[in-house]
Amino acid sequence: MLRIHFTADDLRLTRLAQAPDPFWEIVFSRHRLADPAPPAALRPWLEAMRGQGERLRRHERVVAALVPFGPYFPDFLTPAEGVHGFDAGLRAILSTPRARLRAEMRTLARSSPLPSGWGRRLAEGETATLMNLAATLRAYHSIAIAPYLDVISAAVAAESARRLRDLAEGGPDGLLSGLAPLMRWRPPVLEVDYDVDRDMHLDGRGLLLIPSYFCRRVPVALADPGLPPTLVYPIDPDAHFRRPANCTTSLVALLGATRATVLAAIDGGATTTQLAARAATSAASVSRHTRVLRDAGLIETHRHGTAVRHVLTSLGRTLLSAGQ
C-alpha cells in the first residue's frame, strides 16, 4: 500500500491534470502491449499495433528495456514537463543531468538487465545515445499514441470533468473521497492500492493527480521522493474507445447537421478548439452552436482558468443515445 500524507497546505495545492501526459501514456501503452491478459476495451488499439509489425517493434524494444513490468523504471522518462506537451517533455529528457541518468539507470539494472551496448552508454550519459532515445520516443509516440490522441484526450477529459465536479462541490476532500474505491481518503492520509509498501510525505508541495488512459489496475507514483509529488491513476475502463457517436438522420433533422455533429463530438467532454476540429467548422460557429445547446439544457460549459470545457448533461446524453 502507498500512504500519501497531506498537510493543510498540501490539500490546498493538490491539483488535477486535465489532459493526458504523453510520457506516462508511452510507459503504460508499452505495458499493455506486453499484457498477457489485455483488457477487451483496448483490443481495437492492440489489433492496430499488431498491424504495424516491425515498424513499431524496433522502437518498442527500446522502450520495453527501460520500462519493464516490475518494481521500477527511471523517473527521467516521465518528466514533470510532460503535462505541457510532448515537445516540452522531450526537451526535459534531453536535459537530464548525467549524474541523474547514471543513478536511475543503476537502480533499473538492479531489477532488470540493461542492454549491454546502448543501455550502458545511456547510463554513462552519452549525448548521442540520449539523442537516439529521444528519437525513439518520438517515433513510438507517433505510432502508438498520436493517431489515437482524440480518443485518449476525450476519455481523460471526461474523467477530469468528473473529478473537477467533485472538487467544486466538496473541495479537496470531495476530490480525494471521489477517487474510491481505487484509493481511500482517511484524512490526512490517502491510501492507495500499490505493489509495494511505501509512505509519501508531501511536505507542503501538494499532489499532482494525472488520469491515464493506458494505466491499469493500480496507480503509480514517481520513485524519487525528491521529485514533484505525482500520482498517475487509471481512468474508468468503460471510457476506453468511446468515440463520438454518429449522427443519425433523426438527430440531424431535429438539431441540424452541424449542431448534431457538435453535440456528438462533445461526448466525453471537449474544448471549443477540439470541437471545431472534430466538427470541421470554425471556433466561432462552434460557440454559436454550444450556446444554443446550453440554452436547451443539453450541455454544460465550465471554465477552469483560461480553459473552457463543454460536457453533456444527462438530457444531452439521453438524446444522443436515443439518436444512435
Give the chain's mean pLDDT: 88
Check whether 180 has a pLDDT greater than 60.
yes
Residue 244 pLDDT class (50, 70, 90 cuts): very low
What residue ranges do the domains of the chain occupy? 2-17+150-239, 22-148, 249-322
Asked whether 95 and 109 are in contact (CB, 8 A), the reply is no
Residue type at 112? Answer: S
Average pLDDT over residues 93-100: 94
Average pLDDT over residues 102-125: 90
Check whether 241 has a pLDDT greater than 90.
no
Q: Flag the least confident range among 91-105, 139-153, 234-248, 263-277.
A: 234-248
226 phi and psi angles, rounded to 5 deg? -80, -15
Residue 57 pLDDT class (50, 70, 90 cuts): very high
Check whether 80 has a pLDDT greater than 50.
yes
The half-sphere exposure of 158 on its side-chain side, counting CA atoms within 13 A, is: 24
Question: Closest by alpha carbon to 159, among 213, 206, 208?
Answer: 213
Check whether 150 has a pLDDT greater than 60.
yes
pLDDT at residue 147 in the model = 86
Average pLDDT over residues 53-60: 93
pLDDT at residue 116 in the model = 79
Percent of the chain at pLDDT exceeding 90: 55
Average pLDDT over residues 193-197: 87
CA–CA gap between residue 122 and residue 133 (Å, rounded): 9
Calculate the alpha carbon distances from 161 to 157, 283, 289 in Å: 6, 21, 21
- 155-177 pLDDT, tens digit each: 888 888 889 889 999 999 999 99
pLDDT at residue 237 in the model = 62
The CATH number, out of the four listed (1.10.10.10, 3.50.50.60, 3.40.190.10, 3.40.50.300), of the domain defined by the range 249-322: 1.10.10.10
The distance of Cα 252 from the centroid of its chain, to the nearest Å, equals 33
